[in-house]
Structure 1
Amino acid sequence: MRDRDRTRCRGSLVVRPILALLLLCAVCGARADELRPAYLQLTETRPDVFEVLFKVPARGGAERLDLRVEFDDSVVAQSAISDGFVGGAHLQRWTLQRPGGLAGTQLGMTGPAALRTETLLRVQYRDGSALVHRLTPEAPRYVVEPQPGLWQVVSTYLVLGVEHILIGLDHLLFVLVLLLMVDGTRKLVATITAFTVAHSITLSLAALDLVRVPVPPVEACIALSIVFVAAEIVHRERGLPSLTARRPWIVAFTFGLLHGLGFAAALGEIGLPQSAVPAALLFFNVGVEIGQLLFVAAVLLFGWVARQALRSEPPRWREVPAYAVGALAMFWVIERTAGFWA
């Protein structure tokens, strides 16, 4: 086999897994409604009386996931259910009562969607404290605990932060194109640090309601940031290096501010417990960083294994994943922009 053919064959060891990853991202994106969690909030308005907000992902048009909440017989509905579709979700509201409060009460998710969809439960008490719990397909039922302590808040928001970044395909793809752009350990550390600092700033400001930005334009711009960096990779591979290639941490910091607003939008749906705002915000952010570092470590490990198998890089091999990532992100840009008028 000639050296050129051997190099091309080895190059496929790098390109094929990346393309497979992108195909998986596209498939997961097509099933985004099933990946989005439902949200159940119980707000204490007066002793033993709670207002219910149940938000279930919509499936386009006037359909929603078949997911229902079931309470103990000791919980009595005090009002009829009002419902409607708002912003890609189906909302239900009603009021319920239980003598002695909800502590010790069992609730759970039923319906076919309960086998594949998580639900985030938030119980908000009149004194400002809040209890947060995840109902998963593996554990769809939950016995409401007494009002939570600090450790319960910390552990819940830490896990939520890790999960949010690992299912946030657009955020992960932005990190991926940054890694494809950067050469050298010092540049890599500077770039990831800049991205971390930037999104931590805007996440905190938005979560504390000091900055307000509409979510749909932010999501469209996040997708556009991926397109931008993917195009810069192609330019560099063709001998047209720009500021992005020379100073990637500047781009990482700039777009990191934007991605932080995206993280804050997800946290805004969950809410922060008024009795432990600093701890919840801090550990959600820590969870995001843990998830991000796990992804970076996985990509670097994959790159190291590929280099050992490849021995030498085929010319312009980064262009293929850059084009694939850019095409997928451009689809998101169009889809999210069109959603402004949906």
Structure 2
Amino acid sequence: MDVGMFQTPFMRPDRTPRQVFDWAVAQAVTADQAGFSEYWIGEHATLQWESIPSPELVIAAAAAQTTQIKLGPLAHLLPYHHPATLAVQTAWLAHICGGRYQLGIAAGAYPTDAALRGITDMSVNHKMLFEAIEIIEAVWAGKEYQAEGQFWNHGFPHEDPTHPVRDIRPPGGRIQMAMTGLSPNSPSIGFAGARGYIPVSIYSGNQFVKNHWDVYEAAATANGHPADRAIHRVVRDVVVADTDAEAKKFAIEGGLGAAWEQYLAPTYKRFGVMEGLLADPSHNVEDVDAAYLADHVWITGSPETVTQKLQDWQGETGGFGQLLVYSYDYIDGSKQWDESMRRLAQEVAPKITLPA
């Protein structure tokens, strides 16, 4: 099993933009040195706890300080960009990253991000997403055309000897894309399967991880794409320490616990996501606290305990190729968090296998 990181980021709202940026770049370097295979960065313009509006800046800085880890946004919110501009920018960044760039794309889920761009009816977002993808791939083709879309006019310039057009295509002509899914029967996961993109499941319960793979596999098979579980990424919280007790204490009392207590748990409860995480459906959602999360939702423990939990989880879900762990706010003291990352990548992940 491979391991990657999703730098959403979940940072304290009082952190400055420079603090968030420096932390995100530093975590990319730590992940690279630990042996993580991927590092994804979120994009949100207005959210207090998810405060990176320009993941491409983090990616460019991280590309100069890392050697092997793949980098990408997760995700660029396509309705909020002109797709032709984004096509050129991502292609250029793919060259800068030297083959280590991947492109996560999404429609956008938060009304405040939409309102900032004048979108008051978010039902159009998925239509904009699909049109944007077609435009991006048309620009990457590098052939002259002009077109008027429902949401954007776009084209590729004709060749003018007096002002030659540079080659703006990405390496190899395309970039590996990824899409995230949270809800059951996720349309985004289905679309990813139909296009051969990477599916990324935001963990909201084992039943949804299994459902996402079924949706992806059906769409991929129907459209002639291979459906290998190794391509499936699942995002979940994991903490490794010397002992089970130490790992649980660190998870509850550190940045992970603070983000869940102040932001994630209230958000999940408000939108009905928490029910899928309950170990016992009869458990009252309002009674879920950090101790419950550490025991039943997060994966915490010694290397031996975490290895067993992850191997069991592989069997319970049918298997997936890569675990993505969230990053949290440990700016004020990252030594134990960084060590947890290292042990996960070097002592745990190599022992985890997909079910036969």
TM-score (norm. length: structure 1): 0.25
TM-score (norm. length: structure 2): 0.25
- In our comparison, the structure showing a higher alpha carbon Rg is 1
Decide which structure has greater helix share.
1
